Amino acid sequence: EPEVTQTPSHQVTQMGQEVILRCVPISNHLYFYWYRQILGQKVEFLVSFYNNEISEKSEIFDDQFSVERPDGSNFTLKIRSTKLEDSAMYFCASSLGGNTIYFGEGSWLTVV
């Protein structure tokens, strides 16, 4: 069964460093998303991406965050200058649109 894959599964980074989280969405999907889940809290929407541009973003997704689809398969989330409060599980997801949203296994980011 096709799945969303994410790398790395776990990353530890120093505060202020840049981090790039990578995702390979399901191949025929058109909509791509990033969500995050701080330990013990709700899953929160960050950003959605369609037709090579951001279609929606939350208040969390400030200027420190950016997304890119550099080629036909990868979808990346960059955090420019990490803060302690960015520590969370980051989930990539994809969908055909109007259909089920499928999630990857997540990338656990620890900022120290």
- Report the alpha-carbon distance of residue 44 to residue 53 in Å, rounded: 20
The 61-90 site mask, x for binding another protein (CB under 8 A), equals ----------------------------x-
Site string for another protein, 3-42 (x = CB under 8 A): -x--------------------------x-x-x-----xx
Burial of 64 (0-12, 13-18, 19+ CB in 10 A): middle
Question: Phi/psi zone of residue 86: left (φ > 0), alpha (ψ -120 to 50 degrees), beta?
Answer: alpha
DSSP state of 84: G
Q: Which is nearer to another protein, 15 or 43 (CB)?
A: 43
Chain contacts with another protein (rule: CB under 8 A): 4, 31, 33, 35, 41-45, 48, 50, 55-56, 58, 89, 91, 99-106
